[in-house]
Amino acid sequence: MILAPDLTISGSAAIGDATLFAPLILTLSAGQWTCLLGGSGVGKTTILRLIAGLETGAEFTGQITASDGQSVRERVAYMAQDDLLLPWASVAQNVTLGARLRGEKPDLDRRDRLIEGMRLLDHMDKKPGELSGGQRQRVALARTLMENRPIVLLDEPFSALDARTRADMQDLAAEALQGRTVLLVTHDPGEAARLGQSIVVMAQTGITPCQPPHAPAPRKVDDLETLETQGALLRLLREEAA
Partner 1 sequence: MKLLSALAASVFALAIWQGIVSLTGLPKFILPGPALVAETWWQNRWVIAEHTWVTAVEVVIGFACGTVLGVVTALQLANSRVARVLIQPMLVFTQALPVFALAPLLTLWLGYGLWSKVAMAVLIIYFPITSSFFDGLMRTPSGYLDLARTMQASPRAVLWHIRVPAALPSLASGMRLAAVYAPIGAVIGEWVGSSQGLGYLMLLANGRAKTDLMFAAMLTLGVFSILLHLIVRRATARIAGETR
Q: Which residues bind partner 1 (CB under 8 A)?
A: 49, 52-55, 73-74, 76-78, 80, 82, 84, 86-89, 97-98, 100-103, 127, 129, 147, 153
Choose between 180 and 219: whose C-beta lies nearer to partner 1. 180
Q: How far is the CB of 2 from partner 1 (least distance, A)?
A: 16
Q: How far is the CB of 98 from partner 1 (least distance, A)?
A: 4
Q: How far is the CB of 78 from partner 1 (least distance, A)?
A: 4
Contact of 35 with 219, CB cutoff 8 Å: no
Q: How far is the CB of 102 from partner 1 (least distance, A)?
A: 6
Choose between 16 and 103: whose C-beta lies nearer to partner 1. 103
Q: How far is the CB of 127 from partner 1 (least distance, A)?
A: 8
CB burial of residue 227 (10 Å; 0-12, 13-18, 19+): middle
Choose between 95 and 193: whose C-beta lies nearer to partner 1. 95
DSSP string, the chain: -PPPPPEEEEEEEEETTEEEEEEEEEEEPTT-EEEEEE-TTSSHHHHHHHHHT---SSEEEEEEEETT-S-SGGGEEEE-SS----TTS-HHHHHTHHHHHTTPPP-HHHHHHHHHHTT-GGGTTS-GGGS-HHHHHHHHHHHHHHT--SEEEEESTTTTS-HHHHHHHHHHHHHHTTTSEEEEEES-HHHHHHH-SEEEEEETTEEEEEPPPSSPSSPPTT-HHHHHHHHHHHHHHHHHH-
Choose between 47 and 153: whose C-beta lies nearer to partner 1. 153
Choose between 52 and 169: whose C-beta lies nearer to partner 1. 52
Q: How far is the CB of 28 from partner 1 (least distance, A)?
A: 16
Choose between 74 and 122: whose C-beta lies nearer to partner 1. 74
